Amino acid sequence: MTHDETEHDETDEAVHDEADGPPRDGVGRPVTDGSREAPTIDDGDVSALEAELADRGEAFARATIVRREPPVSANVGDRAVVTADGEIHGWVGGAACAQSVVATQGVAAIEEGTPRLVGIAPDPETVDRPGLDAFPMTCHSEGVLELFVEPVTPTTELAIVGDSPVARALARLAAELTVDVTLVVADGDADRDVPAGTRVVETVDHEAIADAVGDSPLVVVASMGEYDARGVAAGVLADAPYIGLVASDERAAEETERAAGLLDRDVGDVVSAVTNPAGVDVAAYTPAAIAASLLAEVVDERSKATPSDPGEAAAAGGDAEAATDAAGDDSGTAGDGSDASADDETAIDPVCGMTVDPATADASVEHDGRTYHFCCHGCADSFANDPASYLDEEVEA
């Protein structure tokens, strides 16, 4: 019986049983009032994790299998989530070398903010083509996988401090971008022409502003002297990578000094965090033109923003680059998996090229007075049976 026939039979049966079960819609699906428990999510469903990461404002990469050749355990459409620290959640097959490539390419996609098509095959040249990055399938399972790896970064928060014509114009223009706009004002009840999706926060307390906009927003301060210092102080408190102040040089000096007083910090530290004059120099004089120049600078700063925690991304990026270089070696082996590795914290499995942590490696093998670390017992057994073949290839590489 075909899948379509089975599906129609089940639908028909569900509709016929309508009197005995819950109310159903026109195609037999149960109609619920929202009080029922959510369906159980199996190990391959990463939708809930994606939603959770998005809610927390954490960047991740989505890896989806778009092509396969047996023998591989994964299927087209299987997907996984790679977090900024290189952890994989979901299913892209059980081969350790494939998981290593997906992890490193996922971290790279997050850091660079660019998607990529990745191919993993016993002979990378068989899948290598323009637009695809090919890596060797060095694990014993062989087979071919092609995956689309795309970064999913949090929506940028743009905090506009002020209720001036420039601030309102910027809020209107920013609505065309994929950013969450917050307009910080002193009077929340005043009439203002801003898009319906603009969040209006009524406070001029710098700590309250910082709490409202969250971590690392882009901040534009344009209250025209009314509460600029508080906006600058809020941006510093929120660790904003960009704080643009619309003010003359003389007034900017006054506002940054006041902000330093509010924060009880050195004036020089506050000044270094502020961009003034703010906006791209396009000889703008009207509120709309000034807002356009500010938006251009915001777009540029948004592209520079690191989507994940800088410390974690830097550490993960180092591991990712090392593992990617290892996996990209056509010899199938790369690096030195012994304790003599240049990086004291990681080693390279001499069989599959995967980056491993010696402290948590699944297996280790002593050979000629040196310790080699492996991603799994299978690689360790292969090395133990014939270490010379892997070490000879390593020397040749």
Nearest to 50 by CA among 23, 18, 90, 5: 90
List Cβ neighbours of 27 (8 Å cut-off, separation of 6 or more).
11
CA distance 302 to 219: 11
Quote the CA–CA distance of 78 and 88 in Å, as a whole number: 13
- pLDDT digits 0-9 by tens, 355-378: 888 888 878 999 888 999 888 777
Percent of the chain with pLDDT strictly greater than 70 = 76
pLDDT of 32 higher than 60: no
Mean pLDDT score, 199-225: 94
Q: What mean pLDDT, rounded, does the chain reach?
A: 80
Residue 25 pLDDT exceeds 90: no
pLDDT band at 271 (very low <50, low <70, confident <90, very high): very high
Instruction: Kindly indicate the confidence band of residue 66, based on its pLDDT and cuts at 50, 70 and 90.
Output: very high
- As a whole number, mean pLDDT of residues 300-329 equals 49
Q: Over the stretch 39-52, which tens digit does the pLDDT of each residue have?
A: 333 445 788 999 89
* Dihedral over Cα of 125, 129, 135, 140: its sign: negative
Whether the pLDDT of residue 315 is over 80: the answer is no
Domain borders along the chain are: 1-32, 47-152, 156-304, 331-396
| 160-174: burial string, b at 16+ Cβ within 10 Å, e else | bbbbbbbbbbbbbbb
pTM (two decimals): 0.57
Higher-confidence residue of 153 and 18: namely 153
| CATH code given to domain 156-304 | 3.40.50.720
pLDDT tops 70 at residue 132: yes
Q: Assess contact for 83 and 171: CB atoms under 8 A.
A: no
Looking at per-residue confidence, does 54 or 3 come out higher? 54
| Helix extents (H) in the chain | 3-16, 47-56, 96-112, 165-174, 206-213, 228-237, 249-263, 267-273, 287-304, 310-327, 377-385, 387-396
pLDDT at 188: 84
Q: What angle do CA 388, 140, 364 make, to 5 degrees?
A: 50
Query: Please, what's the b/e burial string for 327-346 (b: 16 or more CB within 10 A of its CB; e: otherwise)?
Result: bbbeebbbbbbbeebeeeeb
Nearest-angstrom CA–CA distance, 142 and 123:
10
Neighbour order of strands in the sheet with 179-185 = 199-202, 179-185, 156-161, 218-221, 242-245, 274-275
Rounded to a whole number, what is the distance in angstroms from the first to the last CA of the chain?
54
Is residue 11's pLDDT more than 60?
Answer: no
Q: What does the pLDDT read at residue 351? A: 83
Question: What pLDDT, on the 0 to 100 scale, is given for residue 190?
Answer: 86
